[in-house]
Structures are given as structure tokens and as C-alpha cells.
Structure 1
């Protein structure tokens, strides 16, 4: 295991933390929270405010400098009251560096530093109208969050400072027994770097919960990207290579064994091939198998996830919340040409109101013959009532074969974070 190359300076975080802890003290917070909640209810609708401070540190072996960033992300939105089944929501989002900004934000030309993909930007995060006047049906049009299941195929990338949202129309219907059907059409993605990407992409998700031991989900995504070369601001993206058609089935459930013990299990399969104007020709599979137990609140799980490869192309999920998968060091945001097999174990629990996560990953190609590396992840989170939270997170990736794919190098990351949300 490598050690950090520079002293860890989190002075900015400590200044924010001391202020935040004073605000979150129960003697002070109770009356303040009630006053804020009342003040945010305006005109029959409601404002929302979400402020998140984060210090992030990245040490990547192939770069001469480490990355350090202090950032504050702010969201302010307003949900209108409902009128004849109609309501609307608008939300601003902005990310601002403070104290320290020694990192490559993907647009500040600090290429000697590792990437922390949180540029300073201000944007419209959500802007939608929803109609619920039809029986058990919602129709939403505009820039919105779209999340399917565990975020593996479509998610909002909530971990990054700027959220991923979609210009889309979605229709959700629950008129069939134990069934929720969501169908949509996406024409633009606003990603975590505030880049907008055009596409013409129908999607669907059908969830049935009437089974005795869990729920079964069918989903499909036909991602047809518009632009062959999109310049942003100095880099070029061949988005046509992301055009894929994917159809999958997922089963997810839990079965009580005793009052304090549950069996946990998940299985998923998906098939993918090139689509629309993608110049590549490939057909690849996705597999997930997961099992474990919840023993008196202590959760143990073992998991196997494989993204296959064909003709030098790996199974890809460009709209996923990728940080949630294959390790928090984010070494596999793009599936390697030889695919990836991730065998990992998870332990999580809550002690005295503190949520703890420990995860170990072993990464190989999709045949299991080439070992990419291993990673150990830790997260500690404490929530204070409804509105405040503190988090520490650490990821340590150790590469086994630096030549296995581009960027396969030892990487350490850690984060300190404080959040306030109303």
C-alpha cells in the first residue's frame, strides 16, 4: 500500500466543520430548523436548499502532483403547488472552489494534477412540468432526474458535485396490480461536468413486485448519440461510439429467516450491441450475482459483476452512476477493451447512529486471466436529524498490471464532506 506523498492539509474543511457543528447543535438547531422550514413554504409551494461542502484529495502514481480541492455545491429550487393535476419545479445548481483548487477539473488546464471532475459551474439542474390528472399516471416533461433501480444503467450521479440530469419526457403508470411501468424519451443529457450531449434515446423500465421473494424488473435503453465530435472546450468526444442498445432483466429480494436475520440476493443479466451510427460492431453480456445476510443489522454480502467484451469493445453504461460500481477510486468509469470481472465483498452496519461501509474488490478481465488490481474502500457517515450530515470516505486502488489498460496505476483518494439540506 502506498502512502500519501504530501501532508494532508484540510484546514479549509476544519473551518467549515467547526461552523457547521455549531449550527447543528441540538440546542440551537431545533428552533432554527422550524423557522427555516416555515420560511421555505411560500405561495402554497416549497423552496428547497441543499448545500454540500467537500474536501477531496487524490494521489495518482503516474502524475507529478497530487490533487486537492475545497468545494461548495449549492442547489436552490422551487416546487409550485399543484393546480388541476399540474405542478412545476425549477432548480439552480452551482459549484464553487474555496481555499484550495489544486486539481484538474477537466477544463482548467491543470493537467499535472489528477482529475477531480467537479468544475466551477452554474447551471439549471432541473426544470420540469408534471401532470398527474390521468388515473395512476404521471407525465413529466423537461430537465429531470431519471433513476432506474440501482443506478447501473441510468442514474443521476449524485456523488459528484454537479448532478447528471436529463432533458426528457417520462411517463410512469401503476394501474396494473403490483406493477410500475416507466417509459421515456431522452433528447439531451447534462452530465457532471455541465456538458450537454444530444441524443435520441427511448427507455423503459417495468417492475413487478407481486412475487413472494422479491421483485423482477425488465429494462431497455436505446442510446442514439447525436454528435460524432463534440468539442468541450478543447477536448473531442466521439459520442457515436457510446450508441448502444441494451435489454436486461433483474431479480432483487430479501427473505426473513428469523425476526433478526434476513437472506439477501440479487441476480441480473443484460445483453448489449452496437446501435444507430456506432462505427464499432460488438455483442456483449452483463452478469451480476449477489448474496448475503443481514444479521442483527450487520450486513455481509459477496458479489460477482462482469461486463463482457467483444471485438475490443467492453459493455458500457455511460448514463450510470458509475462511482457506485467497481470501486470508489473510479478506475473503471470506462470499461477496459478486455471487459472487467469484479469480485467483491461488502460489510456495512450502523453503530450509535454512525453508518459504516467496508468493501474489498478484486478486478480482472472478463476471462479472469488478467488481473487488473485490487481496491479497499471505507465510508463513515453520520446524520444529525433530517437536515445535517458528515461523511469521511477513503479508496485505495493497487494496480497489478499497469499495461492491462490505459490509466491502470496506483491511486488513493479520500474525502471529507458536510451537508445541509432543507
Structure 2
């Protein structure tokens, strides 16, 4: 009996001890501090960086005729060669995004662009193709579109209350696919950002769906344009490095500041409604055969037409075809991209894309000329340690012949010119990046905005003059 009593006592004692320990654990759990909104702020994401850049531009050709004659009236025949641009600017992005708190997170980012030198035309007055006006105080200089600017760059709230879904409302950066159609133009110091609501969803396996409605676009030359832009982009992952994308972009912006360039010379074209829709499909990727050998390929087609009250001349198509190979750290590919022309009355446009990355870096064709563009180019890259070397060469033709300077009434030109670009990027560490870039555009046929343009006429400003640019960049990211 005593043995049994002792055994029962031991069992009871053990049970009491376990219960006490359980209560202690519960008590300890109960006293853990609650995850607060302040904790969400502390564990958030830094959105801060500083980028210092020097840009040099040597552009042949004449500045617009703004000097006065003896009667103190504008004299368009008194023109001078453009002065070289020397631009030293600093872009400061300061921002933070909180971690999710009850499925909500908040982000705010300020931007300041400061001109440390001002020997350049920053394009802040209004936007014109090829420097026909802008920044009247510096109109004698070549253009570098990096105006002084201080503003809210991003300000948005995210909600993730539905699984595999993010809803974002406010001012935001957007980069889709290769940023040909929708991008933030991050190369320029002032970025392009959009105001509105976007939804990103990954519910369907291997599929990403992005839909958005934006009612404002804030452009790189500090203009704020109002309208409506609907975005639909569905991306299916064939493999980790290969994708099939379908997209539709529906723009109801009457004026993006580019009407005269889109539809040609003439004051009436400045009032042409630019609303358009673009629908396309893209197959793009890298097929990996072994860790050392791979193949690159791209096949893309899109159709652009008028939308809502858009001008009925808006009717053009786009394609990009190309491919190449990679061996170890070396890659080489050959591509052709066409932005077609509608009988020289309109050409395919990409007003919301990061156009600096296409048709060469010298930015002669940020707006597609009415004759269209066919760009055939070869690209090579090589990575060595923390260094990335890049080079490409472009042959830039028109889709249709265009008027040439001193060319009479017939359309006799077809080649805009050629361009080559080279760059070296050094990722010093996880915070510091430095980069050297160079681009040279050489004109071939002398494009004229209208027939019967002579070398002394105002229409000469339509030409795509020989231009060299050099960039030196240092960037620190937190």
C-alpha cells in the first residue's frame, strides 16, 4: 500500500509540475510584447539612394533663332552652333516603406534633383523634339533633360488581405516586362511615376496578373498630365527564365505634350487627340542547356490604334524579333525592332515606356518620327567579377521614306543613321555602384519635317544631327 501511495503521489506531483510548467509557458506567451505599428515601421524597407551624374553632350547643328535684329524683333536667320552641354546633377531619393501591419503597409518617398552646374538646356520650359525650344535662358546649349525638381516621388498604401494579392493605391513606380511600354524612365534624374490604383495577383500557378487604372502621369520634364490609363498585363512563366506575356494598354490622354512630333509639323497637330490602345503578345526568355551554355530569344507583336476620341491617323504595329547565345560570362544577340508608319501620317508610339533604353542611348528617337523606325542591332555583354561590360551597334532605318533636306518634294530618305554605345559598370559593394557610358549617333540621310526644306530654313531643326554623349555615374543605395 505504501508503495502504491508513493507511486500515486509521484504521479500527482509530476502532473502538478507539468501543469505549472504549462501555466508558466502560457504566462510567458501572454507577456510577449504586441507587434505594433511602430514595429512595422522599424522593420520596413529603405527606399533611399543618392545618385551623382555628369553628362556631356556634343551635338552638331544650330540652335533655334532667338537672337534679335536691329529692330529688336526675333530674327530666325540669326542662329549659332549649339554649345556643348556639361551637366552635373545630384538626385536624392529619401523614403521608407513599412512592413505589413494588419495587412496594410505605407510608403513615402521624396525626390530632389539639384543642378550643381547649369551649362545645359534642361528642357523644363516645355517639351519639343530635338530642342526646338525649352529653357529659354539656356537655349544655346545642347539638351540634358534633368531639371531642378523637388516633389513627392512615391506615396502609396498597400493592402495584402487577400492571399497572393497586393492592392496598391497612390503615386507609384511601375515597370512591366522590358519597360518598352510601361516604365519609370529611371535613367533620367527625374523619374516617371503614375497616380492611381494597381492590383498584382499570383493566384494562378506560374502566372502573374497586373491590372491598373491611373489618372495622372508625372513626366521626366516635370509636367503632370491628366487623363486615364488602363493597364492589363498577364505573364505566364514557362520556366524560371522564359515567359509568355499578353498585354493591353488603353490610354485616354488627349495631350502628352508630344502631338506635333506624333503627327508632324503644323500648329493644328498640336491639338490632335493622342488617345490610343495597344494590344500585344510577347515570348521572351533564356533557355538554359547547361550551367555554361544558353540561348536567348524574343518574339513580340503589338497593334496600336485610336481609342475613345483619339485621332483616326493612329494606326500602326510593332514587332521585335531576335535571339542569341551565352557562353559562361559572355552573351551575344542580334535583334530587329520595328515601330511602323501609317503612310507617313503617324508612327507607333510608346509614350509611357523607358525609351532611353531603345534605339540607342543618345535619345534621338524618344518620339517615333512619322516615317517609323526599323532598328537592327547587335548587343554583347561580358561579366568579369564585379564588372559588367556592354556594347551595342544600331542601324536605324525608316519604315517609309521621308523628306530630306534639299531633297525637293519627293521622299528620298530611308536611313536616319547609325549609333553605337558602350558601358562599364562596377558594383563596388552592395551599396556603391559606379558606371561609365558613352554613345555616338551619326546621321545618314538628312531628315526634314516638311518638303522643300533647305539648309537655311527653320525646318532644318527636324534633323537628327550627329551627337556624342558621355555619362559618369556614382550611386549609393541604402
Q: What is the TM-score of this pair, normalised by structure 2?
A: 0.75
> What secondary structure does 1:58 align onto?
strand
**What are the within-5 Å matches in structure 2 for residues 142-153 of structure 1?**
142-153=170-181
Please state how far the C-alpha of 1:237 moved relative to its aligned partner: 9.9
Partner of residue 279, structure 1:
311
From the superposition, tell whether residues 179 and 334 of structure 1 become closer, same or farther in structure 2 (CA, over 3 Å).
same
Partner of residue 101, structure 2:
83
More displaced 10-residue stretch of structure 1: 206-215 or 113-122: 206-215
Please state how far the C-alpha of 1:294 moved relative to its aligned partner: 0.6
Partner of residue 179, structure 1:
207
Give the Cα separation in 2 of the matches to 1:90 and 1:324. 27
**Is contact 1:401-1:408 (8 Å) kept?**
no
**Is contact 1:228-1:238 (8 Å) kept?**
no
Partner of residue 161, structure 1:
189
Q: Answer with 1 or 2: which has the greater Rg.
A: 2
Give the Cα separation in 1 of the matches to 2:341 and 2:351. 15
1:60-84 superposed Cα distances (whole Å, 9 cap, x missing partner)? 1014211111111100002123211
Q: How many residues align?
A: 378
Partner of residue 410, structure 1:
466
From the superposition, tell whether residues 255 and 279 of structure 1 become closer, same or farther in structure 2 (CA, over 3 Å).
closer
Give the Cα separation in 2 of the matches to 1:237 and 1:118. 27
Give the Cα separation in 1 of the matches to 2:271 and 2:101. 40
Partner of residue 316, structure 1:
349
Give the Cα separation in 2 of the matches to 1:169 and 1:73. 26
**Is contact 2:255-2:274 (8 Å) kept?**
no
Q: Does 1:53 align with 2:52?
A: yes
Give the Cα separation in 2 of the matches to 1:119 and 1:136. 39
Give the Cα separation in 2 of the matches to 1:318 and 1:239. 17
Give the Cα separation in 2 of the matches to 1:268 and 1:118. 32
Please state how far the C-alpha of 1:136 moved relative to its aligned partner: 0.8
Of 183, 188, 211, the match for 2:216: 188
Which 5+ residue runs of structure 1 have no aligned equivalent?
1-40
Give the Cα separation in 1 of the matches to 2:202 and 2:347. 35
Partner of residue 435, structure 2:
391
From the superposition, tell whether residues 228 and 363 of structure 1 become closer, same or farther in structure 2 (CA, over 3 Å).
closer
From the superposition, tell whether residues 192 and 237 of structure 1 become closer, same or farther in structure 2 (CA, over 3 Å).
farther
Higher strand share: 1
Partner of residue 298, structure 2:
266
Q: Does 1:328 align with 2:361?
A: yes
Q: What is the TM-score of this pair, normalised by structure 1?
A: 0.85
Give the Cα separation in 1 of the matches to 2:268 and 2:437. 32
Please state how far the C-alpha of 1:403 moved relative to its aligned partner: 2.2
Partner of residue 420, structure 1:
476
**Is contact 2:48-2:96 (8 Å) kept?**
no
**Is contact 1:229-1:237 (8 Å) kept?**
no
Please state how far the C-alpha of 1:199 moved relative to its aligned partner: 1.3
**Is contact 2:210-2:233 (8 Å) kept?**
yes
From the superposition, tell whether residues 237 and 285 of structure 1 become closer, same or farther in structure 2 (CA, over 3 Å).
closer
Of 415, 421, 434, the match for 1:371: 415
Of 104, 118, 125, the match for 2:153: 125
> What secondary structure does 1:314 align onto?
coil
**Is contact 2:254-2:274 (8 Å) kept?**
no
Partner of residue 229, structure 2:
201
From the superposition, tell whether residues 135 and 309 of structure 1 become closer, same or farther in structure 2 (CA, over 3 Å).
same
**Is contact 1:292-1:300 (8 Å) kept?**
yes
> What secondary structure does 1:323 align onto?
helix
Give the Cα separation in 2 of the matches to 1:273 and 1:297. 41
> What secondary structure does 2:356 align onto?
helix
Which 5+ residue runs of structure 2 have no aligned equivalent?
1-39, 63-80, 125-134, 259-266, 402-412, 450-461
Give the Cα separation in 1 of the matches to 2:319 and 2:46. 42
From the superposition, tell whether residues 212 and 130 of structure 1 become closer, same or farther in structure 2 (CA, over 3 Å).
closer
Give the Cα separation in 1 of the matches to 2:119 and 2:113. 15
> What secondary structure does 2:290 align onto?
coil
Please state how far the C-alpha of 1:115 moved relative to its aligned partner: 1.2
Partner of residue 29, structure 1:
none
Q: Does 1:337 align with 2:370?
A: yes
Please state how far the C-alpha of 1:214 moved relative to its aligned partner: 2.4
Partner of residue 217, structure 1:
245
